Structure 1
Amino acid sequence: MSIQVRNVEKRFGDFVALDKVSLDFAEGELTALLGPSGCGKTTLLRIIAGLERADAGQVLLSGSDASQQHVRQRNVGFVFQHYALFKHMTVFENVAFGLRVKPRGERPGEAQIRDKVRSLLELVQLDWLADRYPTQLSGGQRQRIALARALAVEPRVLLLDEPFGALDAKVRKELRRWLRSLHDELHVTSVFVTHDQEEALEVADQVVLMNRGQVEQAGTPEAVYNHPATPFVFGFLGNVNLFHGRLELGAGGGVLHTGEASLPVVAGSYEADHEDGSEAVAYARPHELDLERYAPGAEGIAVTLRRALALGPVAQLELEREDKLGVIEAALPLERFRHAGFREGELLAVRPRQLRVFVQRGEGQDKNAARARGAHAAKQGATQ
């Protein structure tokens, strides 16, 4: 079943939780709603489920307006962060609960319920725990039982609110791989909320970046990571270096003057509405930087290597700008770092291989531009 959200608005007093949000969730896809706390992602999930009522806008399920439907009528499975299992019931009875409380005319027979529950417990690989109670399970096991319970009623849509947020890092990683595998087997239209960038990029078919009640960008994990539409998206997805300066445009590109350095900017890496001489901020990720020993006239930014941390296959470098405009983080393959022989305290030149440049506007202009980019990005993401 597909989901369409059209111009949804939600306020809590003076706080705007959702500001005219429009999104399409394709049938059979797994979508991540990603963003910081308070950005509106959980509110949007609850409105789709029918647990919250929007102040304005529509929720369409397979093209039919479900905005006024009760949560029971939507046939949605919901998995909470803290499991919400019944402690006084066994694992088997927890999974069977949704089937047992169906209206009499829709309720399966006892033999059907037993077969269904056993099948679901096998699906989540916990059939051997059927007679145990939730307090006897690990956090990861409880979350899998909660998912089995949500699937028992054969929902048209599966919604998960921070499903792995209460688990430690190792268990989270194992469970998100398992969720991806389970989704590939079931193909239930699914939406999950997370603030974990790695989780969203690794698991989802589509990622929706939200900020202050608006959609910043929607698209495939590769699209949002490699082609961020806004400064917020660039900064939220992984570590990033910022270079503030003035953009001078020329034929086929331009130059960003930042501190005592001038960095080349290729055409297409900045928006068309940039004007020559605009105050701008450029972004580059740590792995997009080249390093060499400093020499007079060297291209790039003069820096001092303050700290080098060689962990695994990558060396993480902390570089202090000589013009006192902050610290730059660089990531080099360990073999290249060792071959270069860089030492802490050494003077180096850092040069971004690529920059993404955004013009700096006033607050009102920023909001309007972000809204326009977000609407366009959401439309583009829905068509991918």
Structure 2
Amino acid sequence: MSIQVANIHKTFGSFVALDQVSLDFPTGALTALLGPSGCGKTTLLRIIAGLETADSGQVILAGEDASDTHVRQRRVGFVFQHYALFRHMTVFENVAFGLRVKPRRERPKEAEIRQRVHRLLDLVQLDPLANRFPSQLSGGQRQRVALARALAVEPKVLLLDEPFGALDAQVRKELRRWLRRLHDELHITSLFVTHDQEEALEVADQVVLMNRGRVEQVGTPNAVYEQPATPFVYGFLGAVNTFHGRIEGAHLRVGEATLAHSEDQGEVASGAQAVAFARPHELTIITDPGHDAGIAASVVRILSFGASTRVELDSLTPASDSELPIHYEVMLPRDQIQALKLVEGQRVRLVPSRIRIFQSQAA
């Protein structure tokens, strides 16, 4: 089923939760609504489900305005962060519940219900646990039961609100891989809310970045990570190093240092105040004391994890509005770190291999 929202506006008192949001969710795709707490992503999901009403705007399902359609008529499956399983019911009974409470003329026969529930439990790899109660399951197993229950009523749309938010990191990782495989089998148009950047980038076909009730960027995981449209998107998606300065021709002047850039500046004119970003893997560490390019910094910590090493550094030039140092992070292959022979306290220079520049909002 196709989903569109057009000019959705929603306030809670004086707080604007959604500010004229318009989106088109691809049919059969898994879309992540990503953003910080309070950005409006869960409110948007609830409006699409029919659990919340917009002040203005439209929810269009399969080409028809469903803004005033009751939640039961929207054919939407909903999975919450906190499972919401019936504790007094077995796994089987939880999954069968939505089928058994349908109006008599829509309710499948008992034999069909049993067949459908066992098929779903097999799909979510829990059929052997059909007679257990929720208290006898792990957190990850409970969430899979909740997903099977949502799928039992054969929804046209699946909505998931922080589905793995209550689980520990390792279980989250396993379940999001499992969810991706499950979606590839079912191809149900699905939306899931998350504030976990890695989760969104790993699982989704499309990512919608939201901030303060507005959409910042929409695109594939690769597009939003590699080509962030705004400073917010750059800063929210993964680790990033930030440089504040002024554009001087083909350079960004940061204090007494200059950083060369080769990409199109867009609307950032020479002389304008600007902010630039570089990912940790886009910074090179220069140990030659005679080298004067880039930013002067001091090594604070060297942390090795597997094949990569993270180096944390402090700028030797304070921020313009503070005496505190600016912090930087560099990721390098372990063999490269060994060749550099870095030690804590060592003075080095940081030279970006690539920086992305935006004109400062205050400029």
- Would you call these one fold, judging by a TM-score over 0.5? yes
User: Within the alignment, does 1:262 sit opposite 2:248 as a pair?
Assistant: no
Partner of 2:121: 121
State how far apart, in whole Å, the 2-side matches of 1:297 and 1:75 are. Answer: 64
State how far apart, in whole Å, the 1-side matches of 2:259 and 2:175 are. Answer: 43
Q: How much has 1:292 moved relative to structure 2? A: 1.4
Question: For 1:322-341, what aligned pairs fall within 5 Å after superposition?
Answer: 322-325=316-319, 326-341=326-341
1:268-316, CA deviations, whole angstroms, 9 ceiling, x for partnerless residues?
2x3x222220011100111100111143352111112122112211111
1:54-112, CA deviations, whole angstroms, 9 ceiling, x for partnerless residues?
00110111111000100001000000000111111111111111111111111100111
Q: How much has 1:256 moved relative to structure 2? A: 0.2
SS state at 1:266 partner = coil
1:183-219, CA deviations, whole angstroms, 9 ceiling, x for partnerless residues?
0000000000000000000000001110000000010
Partner of 2:272: 278
State how far apart, in whole Å, the 1-side matches of 2:317 and 2:82 are. Answer: 49
Partner of 1:34: 34
Question: For 1:192-231, what aligned pairs fall within 5 Å after superposition?
Answer: 192-231=192-231
Instruction: Say if 2:291 and 2:349, in contact at 8 Å, map to a contact too.
Output: no
TM-score, normalized by length of structure 1?
Answer: 0.91
Q: How much has 1:266 moved relative to structure 2? A: 1.5
User: Within the alignment, does 1:62 sit opposite 2:62 as a pair?
Assistant: yes
State how far apart, in whole Å, the 1-side matches of 2:343 and 2:98 are. Answer: 63
State how far apart, in whole Å, the 2-side matches of 1:327 and 1:106 are. Answer: 61
Partner of 2:141: 141
Question: For 1:8-47, what aligned pairs fall within 5 Å after superposition?
Answer: 8-47=8-47
State how far apart, in whole Å, the 2-side matches of 1:275 and 1:235 are. Answer: 22
State how far apart, in whole Å, the 2-side matches of 1:108 and 1:27 are. Answer: 27
Structure 1 residues 159 and 230, CA, compared in 2 at 3 Å: closer, same or farther?
same
Partner of 1:307: 301
State how far apart, in whole Å, the 2-side matches of 1:105 and 1:219 are. Answer: 43
1:315-349, CA deviations, whole angstroms, 9 ceiling, x for partnerless residues?
11112222233121111111110012122222211
- How large is the RMSD of aligned CA atoms in angstroms? 1.1
State how far apart, in whole Å, the 1-side matches of 2:82 and 2:206 are. Answer: 25
Unmatched 5+ residue regions in structure 2? Answer: 320-325
State how far apart, in whole Å, the 2-side matches of 1:297 and 1:26 are. Answer: 51
Partner of 2:238: 238
1:114-173, CA deviations, whole angstroms, 9 ceiling, x for partnerless residues?
111111111111001111111111111110000000000000000000000000111110
Instruction: Say if 2:78 and 2:159, in contact at 8 Å, map to a contact too.
Output: yes
TM-score, normalized by length of structure 2?
Answer: 0.96
Instruction: Say if 1:294 and 1:347, in contact at 8 Å, map to a contact too.
Output: no
Partner of 1:357: 357
State how far apart, in whole Å, the 2-side matches of 1:71 and 1:221 are. Answer: 30
Partner of 1:184: 184
Instruction: Say if 2:287 and 2:340, in contact at 8 Å, map to a contact too.
Output: no
Unmatched 5+ residue regions in structure 1? Answer: 366-384
Instruction: Say if 1:262 and 1:300, in contact at 8 Å, map to a contact too.
Output: yes
Instruction: Say if 1:292 and 1:350, in contact at 8 Å, map to a contact too.
Output: yes
Partner of 1:291: 285
Structure 1 residues 93 and 297, CA, compared in 2 at 3 Å: closer, same or farther?
closer
Partner of 1:377: none
> One-letter code of the match for 1:266?
S
State how far apart, in whole Å, the 1-side matches of 2:111 and 2:133 are. Answer: 22
Instruction: Say if 2:246 and 2:253, in contact at 8 Å, map to a contact too.
Output: yes
State how far apart, in whole Å, the 2-side matches of 1:232 and 1:174 are. Answer: 29
Instruction: Say if 1:294 and 1:302, in contact at 8 Å, map to a contact too.
Output: no
State how far apart, in whole Å, the 2-side matches of 1:4 and 1:20 are. Answer: 13
> One-letter code of the match for 1:9?
H
